Structure 1
Amino acid sequence: MTIITETPRLLIRRFTLDDAAAVYHFNSPEEVNRYTGDAGMCTTVDQARGIITDIWLKEYQQYGYARWAVVLKETGQIIGFCGFKYEPHLNGTDIGYRLHPDFWGKGYATEANQACLEYARRNMDFKEVFGEVVAENHASARVLTKLGLTYQLQYQEDGFTIHRYGLSLKD
């Protein structure tokens, strides 16, 4: 298990195939994917295993990073993902997060991704990161602004209005 970073409440680590049930669990509630475009992509543990194998493990190999598991230190439970993903349409790196609804509103998304940004500043060669949210997803937009990202532009995609935020990691 590769630990990336931690906070007082959270451990941030790479996903492994042993995490498939947890990935299914935090992705399965309908409201989790309301604004992601991923609805229906994780309806079984086998599909969760496919996400780990075909996306995250491949991206760890290809880019050296991908989404990371957010683990509650107190219980060892995986409550979602955080961290980075290379996005070709951005020609850059996206910061993202997804948590099971039982853990919404507790500051975990901000806490986990702040730790990721600090890690990136020290250990990664990112000049900037981006975050994109559907316009109606006010809670995620608040997380991005708490992280220091600022609004850049909006565009239409698949019937959604997307807001793009950005943050320079180099002075």
Structure 2
Amino acid sequence: MHTRMRISKMSIITETTRLVIREFTREDAQAVYDFNAPEAVNRYTGDVGCCNSLEDALSIIENIWLTEYAQFGFGRWAVVLKETGKVIGFCGFKHEPRLMGVDIGYRFHPDYWGQGIATEANLACFAYARTNMALVEVFGEVVTENIDSIKVIKKLGMEFVKQYQQDGYNIAQYKVLL
């Protein structure tokens, strides 16, 4: 039997039929560790070894996401399954000085891959941004070997901009106008 988690209305960004997208809290450290733990999750992110403990997960929440919420009013957001109240990954925006713009990103535990969740969550983020944020364009970058992530990027309506190499990876850059 699953119990539904109580979510503060203040922290909810948006919802879909299956998902609640909300700000992360310090109480999400275990979930952040859990969805980052499988090796396959970070294979193409450049984040291998960044979340090896609950302390690392808490540091990511406090020093990256909560800081970005305070500084920019947005960041990566928790994706919660409505049915169970479980945080299964993240989606959302990141101010990216290297791009001189905003990047969309997503990461989910492998148990939730192949179910359309990444597409559903990020389309909801785009809808939210069109109504509530002053964004004109959003970038998405993906390692070219990450075929499944490229499929998501294309389902989001993002168009190819360029390909380049960084840290030994071939990276494809996409963008969408909001």
Aligned length: 169
Percentage of identical aligned residues? 62
Residues 50-82 of structure 1 show CA distances to partners (whole Å, capped at 9, x for unaligned) of: 000000000001111000000000000000000
Q: Which amino acid aligns with 1:27?
A: N
Moved over 4 A (4+): none
| Distance in 2 separating the partners of 1:123 and 1:145 | 23
Verify: 1:157 aligned to 2:169, yes or no: no
- 1:143 shift after superposition: 0.3
| Distance in 2 separating the partners of 1:96 and 1:149 | 13
SS at match of 2:160: strand
Verify: 1:112 aligned to 2:143, yes or no: no
Cα RMSD (Å) of the superposition?
Answer: 0.4
Where does 1:15-164 land on structure 2 (aligned, <5 Å)? Answer: 15-164=24-173
Residues 15-73 of structure 1 show CA distances to partners (whole Å, capped at 9, x for unaligned) of: 00000000000001000000000000001011000000000000001111000000000
Q: Normalising by structure 2, report the TM-score.
A: 0.94
SS at match of 2:104: strand
Q: Normalising by structure 1, report the TM-score.
A: 0.98
| Distance in 1 separating the partners of 2:13 and 2:120 | 14
Instruction: In structure 2, list runs of 5 or more residues that go unmatched.
Output: 1-7
Instruction: In structure 1, list runs of 5 or more residues that go unmatched.
Output: none
Q: Which amino acid aligns with 1:64?
A: G
Q: Which amino acid aligns with 2:19?
A: L
